[in-house]
């Protein structure tokens, strides 16, 4: 289908909880060490939500900041997409909770679950709505509180994850700006490699599922690592080619912040030097759907990302899923 408009990000906002959990503190609660965590993951610390905070609270704060950044009012929002793996509850959708708190009276709202790739999936959905002319203003939020679903006795997973939220306002932009190419994928044959087994209709909550710790993240780290490196490299190459660009045309790669080794391996596959790769995993850990908007907003705010630059956003996650977006940065809408 021929695009009527190019969709671009016209505002960003992020939020992370105040509580910082360092590797040194983790040493006190699980058999690990600062050196073990840093050398294997690149993580030094992560943020942890306060007991009274839910995913919608983090998402709301990031959404407010994104609206302020864009100059868009809540009443101008046509659609709210919340990418999350840790919704406030099964239903209603966290997006509907955000819609009410923002007083975005005109907005439709839904949640989207695609593992840590959720923010990319949300951007692609927003691009489809805007480029087709169905909607003009879409708010995409990635928010997760993974600290509530990690087993703090499992050193292989509890050291990895943190909490946070990031939001983007998308609108039509000039034809030489915005989203140029997209790629989404999934492979359900790898679903068991990254999962929370219980709590749904397959294994409803019971005394047995609680005793067996089936409500926490279970991960086959080795297989996920191999999948992630290949998926992020292949997806990035696909959107670069789809945008009519070459790898040397890319100014910045914004990868999902899962593990520094995965990030470095993906950059190597793309022949990109690490000074062209945005990295925040050392300070925030893997905060799932929030990791890409957090890294992106930081680079925009400090001036590294400038108008007219070519950037690639790429992620992977439970499902197994993957996705990438090639963009030419330009934050001025044409409405």
Question: Catalytic residue positions?
Answer: 116, 256, 286
d(CA 181, CA 185): 14
Helix intervals (H) in 189-324: 207-211, 221-242, 260-269, 281-284, 291-301
Residue-wise over 202-215: b if at least 16 C-beta within 10 A, else e? eeeeeeeeeeeebb
Write phi, then psi, for 124 (nearest 5 degrees). Answer: -65, -40
- For tokens 């408009």, the residue is 5
Report the DSSP beta bridge partners of residue 144: 164
HSE of 134, CA atoms in CB hemisphere, 13 A = 10
d(CA 120, CA 324): 6
Please confirm whether the linkage preceding 94 is cis (ω < 30° from 0): no
d(CA 284, CA 295): 10
d(CA 199, CA 327): 38
Report the DSSP beta bridge partners of residue 327: 179, 311
d(CA 55, CA 306): 31
């Amino acid at each position: 289908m021929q695009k009527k408009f190019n969709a671009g990000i016209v505002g960003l906002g992020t939020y992370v909880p105040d509580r910082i959990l360092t590797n040194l503190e983790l040493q006190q609660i699980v058999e690990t060490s600062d050196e073990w965590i840093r050398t294997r993951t690149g993580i030094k610390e992560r943020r942890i939500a306060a007991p009274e905070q839910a995913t919608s609270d983090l998402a709301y704060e990031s959404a407010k900041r994104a609206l302020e950044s864009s100059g868009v009012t809540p009443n101008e929002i046509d659609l709210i997409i919340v990418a999350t793996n840790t919704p406030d509850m099964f239903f209603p959708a966290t997006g509907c909770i955000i819609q009410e708190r923002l007083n975005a009276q005109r907005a439709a709202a839904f949640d989207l679950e695609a593992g840590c790739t959720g923010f990319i999936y949300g951007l692609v959905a927003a691009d489809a709505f805007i480029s087709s002319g169905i909607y003009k203003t879409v708010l995409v939020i990635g928010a997760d509180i993974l600290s509530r679903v990690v087993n703090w006795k499992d050193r292989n997973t509890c050291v990895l994850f943190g909490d946070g939220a990031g939001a983007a306002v998308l609108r039509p932009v000039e034809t030489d700006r915005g989203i140029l190419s997209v790629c989404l994928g999934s492979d359900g044959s790898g679903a068991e490699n990254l999962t929370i087994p219980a709590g749904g209709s397959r294994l409803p909550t019971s005394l047995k599922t609680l005793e067996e710790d089936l409500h926490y993240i279970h991960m086959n780290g080795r297989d996920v690592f191999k999948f992630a490196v290949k998926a992020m490299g292949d997806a990035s190459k696909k959107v670069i080619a789809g945008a009519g660009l070459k790898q040397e045309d890319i100014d910045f790669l914004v990868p999902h912040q899962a593990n520094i080794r995965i990030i470095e391996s993906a950059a190597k596959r793309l022949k990109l030097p690490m000074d062209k790769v945005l990295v925040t995993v050392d300070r925030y850990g893997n905060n799932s759907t929030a990791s890409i908007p957090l890294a992106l907003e930081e680079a925009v705010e400090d001036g590294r990302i400038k108008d007219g630059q070519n950037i690639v956003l790429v992620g992977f996650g439970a499902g197994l899923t993957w996705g990438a977006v090639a963009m030419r940065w330009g934050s001025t809408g044409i409405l």
